[in-house]
Chains A and B, each alone.
Chain A
Amino acid sequence: MPTLVVADHNNAALGAGTMSVVTAAAALGQDVHVLVAGLGASGVATAAAGIPGVAKVLHCEDAAYEHGLAESLALLLVRLAEGYEAIIASTSSAAKAVMPRVAALLDVAPISDISAVLSADTFVRPTYAGNAMATVRSSDPIKVITVRTSQFETAPDTGGNATIETVAAAEAQALSSFVSRDLNITERPELTSARVIISGGRGMASGDNFALLDAVAAKLNAAVGASRAAVDAGFVPNDYQVGQTGKIVAPELYVAVGISGAIQHLAGMKDSKVIVAINKDEDAPIFQVADYGLVADLFDALPELERELSE
């Protein structure tokens, strides 16, 4: 039986994480279908149909799915589950909310945040902030899986030609309703899909000083992130947070500035290809995982870095 990928989208565009979920789904060895449930999301369905390796796109249009409310979307997934051996999604905040709900309604154990597919029923998942990698085998008839997208290659977004099938909405429910969304609009790339990330920690000393990071980020076309300490101190909003309780990233280049390197932060970035640490404390644990360490005052180093990159 095929595998159903639950697409991340905002009704206008397909989320980048879905490309990695398709790769993980393909590793299960069955046909890959993608569900696009939303309102005015036909462009997203068309985009999903263009991913090579996708056999079919299920497109469901209904106001109940406009904002991805977990209670409604879970009922649709449970109805569709009959025809599938696995339902798989990213670890986006929307997917993390809905997938365990689906699993409970199906009376199966969710398999959260997998980093590798070993077979159709056996997976590796990080536990203890990535300090203990557990290999788990599911005995359930349907696998409900979320994927650590940074650990799977991104599938190409063109070249495929899947059929698009319209599916009916599930029964309505009125447990929750959408009020508003307050999104942090940034000109920088998204953290979870950026090729380069520059993050600041408590050493940044204030939110205003993040402008120093922004200036370097602009030169590198980098996303800007932060440690939990910087978020807790109120320097930047929580959606900047990289770490066990924030976003898990694995860019080509991760630059940690004024970040000491608590295990909870390392959990979110230690799979980056190249790690740079800039910290004035030469004993900071961040240097133990950094490919290149610079012991320096960040308030001197960042403007200098910006100048060097301009040349």
Chain B
Amino acid sequence: MKIVVAVKRVVDANVNIRVKADATGVELANVKMSMNPFDEIGVEEAVRLRESGAASEVIAVSAGGPSCQETLRTALAMGADRAILVNTEAELQPLAVAKLLKAVVEREGPTIVFTGKQAIDDDSNATGQMLAALLGWSQGTFISKQTITDGAVEVTREIDSGLETLTLSLPSVLTTDLRLNVPRYASLPNIMKAKKKPIDQVTPEDLGVDIAPRLEVLKVEEPPVRAAGVKVGSVQELVSKLRDEAGVI
């Protein structure tokens, strides 16, 4: 059983981003980039399945410019066997990424695809669901647990008021939530080994996929800044301010 894991290169979660002065986007020059944290969880889950013998091969896939190879190397250092970069400098929106992943999946024939539930840059929360739709597969979104049984996978999903368990036919696209696992740190020997693992490169044209954006970004702005308020000296003062000044209790 092969597993494909989609990984996205994003601004690191600890960076305070800045909106560009010309309102065309977010400043990415000289900003620390990392693998989307939810995708790390996907890589970890896939590697654990291979280590347990349930899976035979883990293939990490990313779409974007050449710098995404760095993100793929991270996946390889965590234990993925090989990687594929869909190389393009063009703007990629979730629908286009889902189509590119579909083309890769059709070439590779995995039984499970892991994607993060959302990327922490565009916060769309869409690619995994769209990939499942395009493939005509089942989808397990926001999962915190998965158990593979004969021809199916049972998933526990994080839903608004608790947990939900579903049985999904395989093949399936699973999107990871935070509590699925705690991703490992790549060890130095594994980082060295990862340098020798192969990264294949293809282009959207090779895959025959139209990646034209459907959403035009007209502008990107900072949200209104919330002014800091006042410090109060005691609980009593706090309660009286909330009652008399703010009128919220």
Interface residues of A (CB under 8 A from B): 67, 69-71, 74, 92-94, 96-105, 107-113, 122, 126-140, 174-184, 190, 192, 196, 220, 228, 231-232, 237-239, 244-245, 247, 252-253, 263-264, 270, 273-276, 282, 287-296, 301, 304-305, 308-309
Contacts and interface: CB of A to CB of B under 8 A. Distances in A.
B152 to A, nearest CB: 9
B222 interface: yes
A93 B11 CA distance: 25
Nearest to A266: B226
A33 B80 CA distance: 47
B19 to A, nearest CB: 5
Given A175-B169, A245-B120, 18 more contacts: A94-B159, A100-B128, A104-B129, A112-B123, A113-B123, A122-B218, A131-B222, A132-B19, A133-B222, A176-B138, A177-B167, A179-B166, A181-B162, A196-B249, A238-B144, A276-B238, A288-B228, A293-B232
Interface in B156-199: 157-169, 177-179
Nearest to B16: A263
Nearest to A174: B169
Contacts of A270: 223, 226
A228 B178 contact: yes
A273 B25 CA distance: 28
B236 interface: yes
Contact of A239 (B118, B162, B230): B162
Interface of B: 11, 13, 16-17, 19, 25-26, 38, 93-95, 98, 117-118, 120-134, 137-142, 144, 154, 157-169, 177-179, 213-223, 226, 228-232, 234-236, 238-239, 241-242, 246, 248-249
A143 to B, nearest CB: 10
B120 A244 contact: yes
Contacts of A178: 164, 166
B159 to A, nearest CB: 4
Determine chain A's interface SS by DSSP, over half rule.
mixed
Nearest to B142: A93
A137 B166 CA distance: 36
B236 A308 contact: yes
A108 B160 CA distance: 26
Contact of B162 (A112, A137, A237): A237
Given A103-B130, A126-B123, A296 B169 contact: no
B139 A71 contact: yes
A301 to B, nearest CB: 5
A127 B169 contact: no
A291 B228 CA distance: 6
B165 A292 contact: no
A131 B19 CA distance: 8
A301 B167 contact: no
A137 B216 contact: yes
A175 to B, nearest CB: 4
B161 A104 contact: no
Nearest to A124: B221
B13 A264 contact: yes
